Each structure stands twice: as structure tokens, then as C-alpha cells.
Amino acid sequence: MLIKRYLKDYWLLFFILTITSIGCALPAALLPQPKPAGKLVLDYSPGVSADQVPLYEFSSEQHDQIINRGYPDRFLILFFVDQNDAGLDKEVRQETWYYDQIGLELVFHNGVLMREFQGDAIRMEGLGRTGYNPEFFYRGMGLAEISAITAQNGFYQEPISEDQDPRGMLHYFQGLVVGLENDQLRYVETLPLGDAGLPY
């Protein structure tokens, strides 16, 4: 009985030591890794001036809206590829304009008004109109042009995806968030809170 107990204890100890040694030998890549922090950039030099950055040309429908209602209080722009009725790829610039003071939301696809939604007015302390305009941003725009047109050399940046792929980056400017893929603009959203944005 003592021999059996001894062997049982021996194999239990051997099992524990084996599992422990395997656990210690696990490569670090298999263990959860902390997500790297973003990066604060304070002295970015775009290498271009604002007058060298072209502006997006509004459609007649967009132009009429600006004449009748003025620029939106805030806006969201997405650039993506969709398919037309023939199954062919087409580039889309989707803009959502928000007129918070009157509760109006307009959605444009390549300058064509696709949807108009009338809701309740949004009035809250600190909520104002963005200092940016939709025509500041265009397809293919890079970080240098964005920095130049917004007159900002400081921003916070972080990868879009959890795998830290450097090809997709979010950049946070004053009153503005932009998403770039391979230094090509894909996403724009204004944040008109407090004194965010540019003076106008």
C-alpha cells in the first residue's frame, strides 16, 4: 500500500511539474497582450499650405441647401465602394448633414439627396456649429492635406483595428475625427462641442 501511495504521489508531482514547465514555456505571443496606446503628435509638418489643397465641388442640390439653410451644424462623410445596378463597382461619397437647431438630417450620395429626416431640434448648452465645412474634405485626401486645410499641426492618432494594422488610422483633431486607410481619407466626423472647431 505504501508503494502504491508513493507511486501515486510521484506521478501527481510529475504531472504538476510537467504542466508548470509547459505553461512557463508558452510563447508570449499566445498570451493576452496589452493594447499599445495611441500617439500624441504636436509638431506635424504637412509640407503643403491650405491654398494648395483643392476643395470638393458641391452638387446643385447641396448648393441649394446651403443657400436656403446655411452650412450644417455638424456632418459625417464616408468614402466607400458600392455596386451599381449593372454589378459594377462605383465610388460613393456619402454625406450626412445635421441641422441640430431645427432637427433636420440630410443624406447625400455623390451629391444627390437620398433621404431627408425631420426630427426634434437638439438644443443643449455647449453644442454649436462646427467650424469645418464639408467641401474641405475629398476622396483620396491624405493627412498632410487635412492638417493644412484645418490649420492644425497637433493631433492624437491610434490604429483603427485591434490588430494594430498601421494601414488604418484614426486621427483626432480639435473638433474633428478622421479615418485614413493607407493615408487615404475614408471617414470624417465633426464634433461641434464647446469651442471645438475653427473660428468662423
199 in any annotated domain: no
15 in any annotated domain: no
Write out pLDDT tens, residues 147-198.
Answer: 999 999 999 999 987 765 667 999 999 999 999 999 999 999 998 765 433 3
Write out pLDDT tens, residues 5-26.
Answer: 433 443 444 333 443 443 444 3
pLDDT score at 85: 76
DSSP-derived pairing of the beta strands 89-99 and 112-118:
unpaired
* Residue matched to cell numbers 452638387: 59
How open is the CA angle 107-66-53, to the nearest 5 degrees?
A: 85
1 in any annotated domain: no
8 in any annotated domain: no
Number of domains the chain is built from: 1
**Residue 50 domain boundaries:** 39-190
- pLDDT bin (cut points 50, 70, 90) of residue 139 is very high
13 in any annotated domain: no
Quick count: other Cβ atoms within 10 Å of Cβ 148? 19
Ramachandran angles phi, psi of 94, nearest 5°: -105, 120
Quick count: other Cβ atoms within 10 Å of Cβ 157? 17
